[in-house]
């Protein structure tokens, strides 16, 4: 059975971090655009209500972004620990 050595480096986390940053920026600008569109609608119309509901729905994801980031970081740390312990005790 051939043994392989797995190595983790800090730059392996860069794509995950950049994805979270880009997602946050895209959601912030998207919500800003949706707010501008809502301002163009007449109040109490179906279009105004639809944009209100859309803004509420889209605003839920940025609220969950810290939890998503925590889960990603925890998964990476658990992966590193499992790999380290498996390499140490499977020799």
Is 82 part of any domain?
Answer: yes
Is 36 part of any domain?
Answer: yes
What does the pLDDT read at residue 36? 92
Please state, as a whole number, how many other Cβ atoms lie within 10 Å of the Cβ of residue 45: 10
Q: Please count the structural domains in the chain.
A: 1
What does the pLDDT read at residue 31? 92
Q: How far apart are the C-alpha atoms of 40 and 29, rounded to whole Å?
A: 17
Is 3 part of any domain?
Answer: no
Is 4 part of any domain?
Answer: no
Is 75 part of any domain?
Answer: yes
What are the 10-residue block averages of pLDDT along the chain, 91 residues in total?
65 83 91 91 87 91 89 86 78 67
Is 5 part of any domain?
Answer: no
Is 39 part of any domain?
Answer: yes
Is 6 part of any domain?
Answer: no
Angle subtended by helix axes 46-89 and 14-40, to nearest 10: 170
What does the pLDDT read at residue 67? 92
Q: Are 27 and 57 in contact (CB under 8 A)?
A: no
The answer to whether the predicted template modeling score (pTM) of the entire model surpasses 0.85 is no
Domain region containing 31: 13-89
What does the pLDDT read at residue 91? 67
């Amino acid at each position: 059975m051939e043994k392989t050595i797995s190595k983790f480096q800090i730059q392996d986390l860069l794509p995950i971090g950049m994805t979270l940053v880009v997602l946050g920026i895209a959601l912030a600008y998207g919500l800003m655009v949706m707010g501008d569109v809502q301002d163009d609608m007449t109040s109490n119309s179906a279009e105004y209500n639809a944009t209100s509901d859309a803004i509420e729905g889209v605003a839920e994801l940025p609220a969950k972004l810290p939890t998503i980031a925590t889960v990603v970081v925890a998964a990476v740390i658990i992966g590193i620990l499992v790999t380290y312990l498996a390499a140490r005790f499977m020799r």
